[in-house]
Chain A
């Protein structure tokens, strides 16, 4: 019998912040490593491409990993906080968390910069959540339950 609709792949809320932080760091560092090593190789003179790639990667990839990690950790913290406050799990948590993260990360530039960053973050997450919902609806179409065939029931004959 299949499980109830509980997703066991994500850990409960306090621990999932660490998980998301680490995951985001790895994505940023690995992705940044590939990106910057290619960029470093391209921007180096012939014969120095390999060392140029490694130098660029060493300089920039950890920074990118750190940026991603901070973004991911803040996002997850806000997400968990909203879930605890609202006692609901729905896309709004993610959208508001994205906005809050964008705002906090740009807070040092003043209210206007923070506001723009928050709006961009919120829209980006609304886009991601919207795509997620569309995919879920699309997948659900193929899993429609089939109505079982009931036998024909004769209406009761009236008593004479």
Chain B
């Protein structure tokens, strides 16, 4: 203790004042700089090469190049199939339902009471809606399946795949109605499919 010199017997007030400003006193930086962080001591798992945190990348979208990212999540062909078919079916159902609703309102305008009107309205909606929805859903299902298969064989995705897949599904859909109808349907579906796959890059 250096407060009181050895040869002094009494204590004065000055000597009792704590010497906080003394440069000899220890500062925080003195002992912080000496610390070395040994990762082994910090956490035993660090020895094995560290902890792998949540790996979201391994579930990312398809590995095939050119598949691109869009608003609809897609991790592979099954996702494409389900989302594509689901969206198309729902869209077809809505459009067909709207068509049927318009038709039902027109027909029901001549009915005398509300119950008949409502019944006509519901009948028309539920006739057109599912018909359009089902047909469009089947085409979409075939399109997505063939698109994935063609993409798998070719090794990458591009609008040509979509066109070919659209043509095939359009042809199969009308396959019992004759060659000419098949051709028209194939051309129409191929055009729609190409427009969709090209437009998807820009819109979604």
Contacts and interface: CB of A to CB of B under 8 A. Distances in A.
Contacts of B73: 11, 15
Q: Which 4 A-B pairs have the closest CB atoms?
A: A22-B86, A62-B134, A22-B82, A21-B86
B183 to A, nearest CB: 19
B54 interface: yes
A16 to B, nearest CB: 10
Contacts, number: 81
Scoring B51, B59, B130, B137 by chain A CB atoms within 10 A of each residue's CB, the highest score goes to B137
Interface string B113-127: 000000000100000
Interface in A44-69: 54-55, 58, 61-63, 65-66, 69
Given A11-B73, A15-B72, A54-B176, A73 B138 contact: no
B55 interface: yes
Interface residues of A, number: 28
A137 interface: no
User: Contact residue range for chain B?
Assistant: 20 to 34
Interface of A: 1, 3-4, 6, 8, 11, 15, 17-23, 25-26, 29, 54-55, 58, 61-63, 65-66, 69, 73, 108
A55 B122 CA distance: 28
Nearest to B173: A58
A69 B86 contact: yes
B137 A29 contact: yes
Contacts of B87: 18, 22
B86 A73 contact: yes
A54 B56 CA distance: 45
B149 to A, nearest CB: 15
